[in-house]
């Protein structure tokens, strides 16, 4: 699939590539993957952590101090902790979610997998995730590493991103299309 072999670019891509290469060289890809997953989950569940990461109001020193405490509490390994602290020191903490996504894409490519992200109106059940992974694997001819997001404004349906391709079957998009069609008629 053409979208999966895109070169890494942008701040998030460069940071993710550096972390990936360090982790590969230290034979710590699985550990870093788990640490980033823990941090991403904490970002999703803890509004104060999200605010710390996204807000430019906090100084780099404040972000580093708070981040150190969070990383210790989450038991994040040395390599990943140093990476996240570097991002804070360089005022790039806001880009960490994109860095995590880029790292996952690099890891999937390294493993011969395809990475995909699905956004749904409500959290998918395990059976639905498995069925979606199987359908994507059959289409792409590769194992699929799937990450999930929830956006209640979709109302229903899914948005699936694989590389540069996006399939949007959300009810919100269908209703917007209908609204535009009705404006043209009326």
Three-class SS string for the chain? CHHHHCCCCHHHHHHHHHHHHHHHHCCCHHHHHHHHHHHHHHHHHCHHHHHHHHCCCCCHHHHHHHHHHHHHHHCCCHHHHHHHHHHHHCCCHHHHHHHHHHHHHHHHHHCCCEEEEEEECCCCCHHHHHHHHHHHHHHHCCCEEEEEEECHHHCCCEEEEECCEEEECCHHHHHHHHHHHHHHHC
Whether the pLDDT of residue 186 is over 70: the answer is no
Could you read off the pLDDT of 88-133 as tens digits, one per residue?
Answer: 999 999 999 999 989 988 998 898 888 888 999 999 999 999 999 9
Q: So what's the pLDDT on residue 3?
A: 40
Among 8-12, 32-36, 118-122, the range with the most confident prediction by mean pLDDT is 32-36
Could you read off the pLDDT of 141-157 as tens digits, one per residue?
Answer: 888 888 888 898 988 89
Q: So what's the pLDDT on residue 7?
A: 53
Give the separation between CA 121 and CA 176, rounded to whole angstroms: 16
Share of the chain above pLDDT 70, in %: 95
Q: How confident is the model at residue 32 (pLDDT cuts 50, 70, 90)?
A: very high
Q: So what's the pLDDT on residue 1?
A: 37
Residue ranges of domains in the chain, CATH in brackets: 2-106 (1.10.520.20), 113-185 (no CATH)
Q: So what's the pLDDT on residue 112?
A: 86
Higher pLDDT, 70 or 181: 70
Q: So what's the pLDDT on residue 8?
A: 66
pTM: 0.70
Q: Cα-atom radius of gyration of the chain, to the nearest Å?
A: 19
Give the pLDDT mean for 147-176: 89
Give the pLDDT mean for 35-46: 94
Whether the pLDDT of residue 5 is over 50: the answer is no
Whether the pLDDT of residue 48 is over 80: the answer is yes
């Amino acid at each position: 699939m053409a979208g999966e072999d895109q070169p890494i670019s942008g701040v998030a891509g460069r940071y993710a590539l550096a972390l990936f290469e360090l982790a590969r060289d230290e034979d710590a890809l699985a550990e870093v993957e788990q640490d980033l997953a823990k941090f991403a989950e904490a970002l999703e569940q803890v509004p104060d952590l999200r605010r710390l990461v996204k807000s430019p109001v906090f100084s780099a020193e404040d972000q580093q101090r708070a981040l150190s405490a969070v990383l210790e509490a989450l038991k994040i390994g040395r390599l990943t902790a140093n990476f996240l602290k570097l991002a804070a020191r360089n005022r790039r903490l806001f880009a960490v979610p994109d860095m995590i996504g880029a790292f996952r894409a690099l890891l999937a490519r390294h493993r011969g997998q395809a990475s995909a992200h699905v956004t749904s109106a409500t959290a998918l059940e395990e059976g639905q995730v498995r069925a979606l992974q199987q359908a994507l694997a059959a289409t792409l001819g590769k194992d699929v590493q799937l990450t999930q997001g929830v956006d209640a404004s979709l109302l229903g349906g899914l948005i699936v991103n694989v590389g540069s391709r996006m399939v949007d079957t959300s009810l919100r998009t269908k209703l917007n299309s209908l609204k535009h069609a009705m404006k043209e008629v009326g």
